[in-house]
């Protein structure tokens, strides 16, 4: 006796209700169907995040990026003469090195005003900072570093100030050295102490200056084999009147006002023997 269509339908329904394999296949199919909108949502989130980052970078590029204030540092270039033998001949060469003096005291006061900037549906928080920086340099005797006064190029002494993004400066920046104005110029000769590059790189170099070199040191460009620098670093420099050893070891005051645009963060390296931030 052949089964009726009704009995076949009943058997199929019973198999469907009791089949573990069919249930697993159904669950797998549902999961696959649910992954489609989930993937679309994830793709949209990724695209929006990329657009937000691009908008933030565009705003920062026009307004000013993350700022790291580094210095000031008093720098004295000096010349050394070395004689070597090559092919049985004496060869004399001169090189420039630097005496770098960190401040005895460094005090910064100021205000930071955040602002919201928009690009389409995206916004970024930027800031305008008004800072007053002042302090004192008291250089030790050059003999402590084994540098001869006759080798120092006294007329090239300068104060170096590092800044991550120079385009954020809003005011005509001038150094007051012992109460007298000395104009800042873009760039730091030969990199001196202040390296060009990102804030982490700068922070590493400053940490080396403070922890390894102490309050003052000699700086030799050839020592930076892992981070070579050529030309002017990111920052500013101002020539200062330090004509001789007697003038160098006197107490020198410095001050400057900085009106600065930036975004993301504002950092200042604590280079002074005593550093205060308000």
pLDDT above 70: percentage of residues in the chain = 76
Q: What is the pLDDT of residue 194?
A: 59
**Segment 252-278 mean pLDDT:** 90
Q: Are residues 148 and 247 in the same domain?
A: yes
Of the three residues 58, 76, 99, the one that is the final residue of a domain is 58
Residue 8: pLDDT band (50, 70, 90) is low
Is the predicted pLDDT of residue 229 greater than 50, yes or no? no
In what helix (H) or strand (E) does residue 230 lie, and over which residues does it extend?
A: none
Q: What is the pLDDT of residue 13?
A: 67
Q: Are residues 50 and 86 in the same domain?
A: no
Q: What is the pLDDT of residue 47?
A: 79
Token representation of residue 33: 């169907």
Q: Are residues 105 and 199 in the same domain?
A: yes
Q: Measured between alpha carbons, how far is 67 from 126 in angstroms, rounded to an integer?
A: 11
Q: Measured between alpha carbons, how far is 215 from 33 in angstroms, rounded to an integer?
A: 66
Q: How far is CA 126 from the centre of its chain?
A: 17
* Number of domain units in the chain: 2
Tell me the pLDDT tens digit for each residue of 189-205. Answer: 755 555 444 343 344 44
Q: Measured between alpha carbons, how far is 31 from 66 in angstroms, rounded to an integer?
A: 45
Q: Are residues 39 and 86 in the same domain?
A: no
Q: What is the pLDDT of residue 232?
A: 41
Q: Are residues 44 and 172 in the same domain?
A: no
Domain that holds residue 242: 66-277
Q: What is the pLDDT of residue 6?
A: 57
Is the predicted pLDDT of residue 18 greater than 90, yes or no? no
Q: Are residues 27 and 124 in the same domain?
A: no
Q: Measured between alpha carbons, how far is 100 from 77 in angstroms, rounded to an integer?
A: 9
Backbone dihedral angles phi then psi of residue 236, each to the nearest 5 degrees: -135, 160
Backbone dihedral angles phi then psi of residue 226, each to the nearest 5 degrees: -85, -15
């Amino acid at each position: 006796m052949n089964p009726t269509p009704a009995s076949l339908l009943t058997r199929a329904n019973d198999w469907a209700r009791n089949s573990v394999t069919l249930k697993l296949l159904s669950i797998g199919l549902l999961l696959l169907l649910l992954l489609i909108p989930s993937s679309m949502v994830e793709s949209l989130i990724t695209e929006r995040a990329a657009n937000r980052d691009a908008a933030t970078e565009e705003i920062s590029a026009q307004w000013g990026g993350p700022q790291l204030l580094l210095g000031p540092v008093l720098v004295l270039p000096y010349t050394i003469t070395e004689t070597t033998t090559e092919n049985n001949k004496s060869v004399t060469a001169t090189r420039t090195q630097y005496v770098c003096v960190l401040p005895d005291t460094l005090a910064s006061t100021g205000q930071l005003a955040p602002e919201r900037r928009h690009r389409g549906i995206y916004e970024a928080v930027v800031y305008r900072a008004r800072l007053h920086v002042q302090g004192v340099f008291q250089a030790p005797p050059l003999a402590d570093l084994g540098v001869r006064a006759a080798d120092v190029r006294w007329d090239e002494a300068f104060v170096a100030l590092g800044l991550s993004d120079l385009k954020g400066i809003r005011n005509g920046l001038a150094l007051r050295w012992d109460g007298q104005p000395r104009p800042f110029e873009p760039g730091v000769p030969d990199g001196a102490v202040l390296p060009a590059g990102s804030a982490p790189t700068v922070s590493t170099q400053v940490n080396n200056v403070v922890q390894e070199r102490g309050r003052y040191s000699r700086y030799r460009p050839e020592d930076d084999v892992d981070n070579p620098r050529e030309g002017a670093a990111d920052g500013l420099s101002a020539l200062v009147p330090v004509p001789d050893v007697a003038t160098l070891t006197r107490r020198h005051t410095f001050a400057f006002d900085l009106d600065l645009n930036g975004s993301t963060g504002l950092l200042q390296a604590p280079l002074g023997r005593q550093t205060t931030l308000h």
